[in-house]
């Protein structure tokens, strides 16, 4: 009976998220490590002004994910399997033992800077709900051009699809999606067009940097959300990390793969609810937890699951 930890991507950040971390020695250690590597107090990263930066957002999600996962592990509620959506793949890799936290901090800072420098304005992402991937892809094909680039980026659920592109392209996609019957078509809190070829050059530069760090064999199952399958070799996982900014996110299929590999409980870490809601389309509702709703309850549920006492 495996437990899957799910780490969210950009858009799930919130003001004060690092200040709201649980009071635990693992959190203190994680924040101290981050401060030593970054050369600044990480608690300055989650202010409203700071979170306008892609770099700060991605670092916050990395630090918070690792801190909460370490806290649960210290309390006897570690995962058996991890998966992360976009930037969430990086804390997943740290928790799996593939990357040292210090290396992940340096690489994520570079990742965010590459993305921010490439697209400081005029681009982003939008989410549609109620339409299938082929329906959204058809709309994107109608809009996509050199002047208005647009790409299908995330397949979060069977009827929740994210599109990346220029502001003008996204406006057209949202209008057409609503006309086609979408229940939702709205911009995400994203300043860059992730998970599409617009970031190929930046992913290649990050891959060069990633190749210089030492990667380790995973100590638990790492499921790639770019490939929707488990990866077991360190070199494949770090390659996956480097290129995931330019590759589609196959989140629904990733959850399905985790279920097929034996995951029976899915926990969103550090919490927020976005991934938990998506997981309820794959896992039983009572098998999906949000760490943001209270770590004590999550710890108890995981330990009961491990003992075979039921959910």
Of 63, 119, 67, 52, which Cα lies nearest the Cα of 87? 63
Q: Angle at the Cα of 300 (from 295 to 305), degrees rounded to 5?
A: 125
* Beta strands, E only, 136-194: 150-157, 160-166, 184-187
Beta strands across the sheet bearing 81-84? 229-231, 221-224, 81-84, 2-7, 263-268, 288-290
User: Which class for 108: exposed (0-12), middle (13-18), buried (19 or more C-beta within 10 A)?
Assistant: buried
DSSP state for residue 280 in the 8-state scheme: T
310 burial class (0-12, 13-18, 19+ CB within 10 angstroms)?
exposed
Residues 6+ apart with CB under 8 A from 186: 126, 127, 174
Active site residues: 86, 195
CA–CA separation, 263 and 197 (whole Å): 32
Exposed, middle or buried, 23 (CB in 10 Å: 0-12/13-18/19+)?
exposed
Long-range CB contact pairs, 217-221, < 8 A, 24+: 217/97, 217/98, 218/93, 218/96, 218/97, 218/98, 219/96, 219/97, 220/78, 220/79, 220/80, 220/81, 220/82, 220/95, 220/96, 220/97, 221/2, 221/80, 221/81, 221/82, 221/96, 221/261
């Amino acid at each position: 009976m495996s437990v899957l930890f799910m780490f969210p991507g950009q858009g799930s950040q919130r003001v004060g998220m690092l200040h709201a971390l649980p009071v635990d020695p693992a959190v203190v250690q994680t924040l101290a490590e981050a401060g030593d590597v970054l050369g600044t107090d990480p608690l300055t990263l989650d202010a409203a002004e700071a979170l306008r930066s892609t770099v700060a957002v991605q670092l916050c999600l990395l630090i918070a994910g690792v801190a909460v996962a370490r806290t649960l592990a210290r309390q006897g509620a570690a995962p058996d399997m991890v998966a992360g959506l976009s930037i969430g793949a990086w804390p997943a890799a740290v928790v799996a033992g593939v990357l040292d936290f210090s290396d992940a901090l340096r690489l994520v800072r570079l990742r965010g800077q590459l993305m921010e420098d490439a697209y400081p304005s005029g681009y982003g992402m939008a989410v549609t709900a109620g339409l299938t991937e082929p329906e959204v892809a058809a709309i994107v094909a109608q809009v996509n051009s050199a002047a208005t680039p647009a790409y299908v980026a995330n397949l979060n659920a069977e009827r929740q699809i994210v599109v990346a592109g220029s502001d003008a392209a996204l406006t057209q996609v949202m209008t057409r999606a609503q006309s086609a019957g979408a229940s939702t078509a709205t911009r995400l809190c994203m300043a860059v067009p992730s998970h599409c070829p617009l970031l190929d050059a930046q992913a290649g530069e990050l891959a060069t940097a990633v190749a210089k760090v030492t990667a380790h064999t995973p100590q638990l199952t790492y499921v790639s959300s770019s490939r929707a399958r488990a990866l077991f070799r360190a070199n494949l996982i770090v390659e996956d990390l480097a290129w995931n900014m330019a590759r589609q996110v196959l989140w629904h299929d990733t959850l399905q793969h985790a279920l097929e590999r034996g995951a029976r409980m899915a926990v969103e870490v550090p919490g927020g609810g976005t991934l938990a809601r998506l997981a309820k389309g794959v896992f039983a509702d009572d098998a999906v937890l949000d760490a943001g709703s209270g770590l004590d309850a999550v710890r108890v549920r995981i330990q009961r699951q491990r003992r075979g006492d039921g959910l």
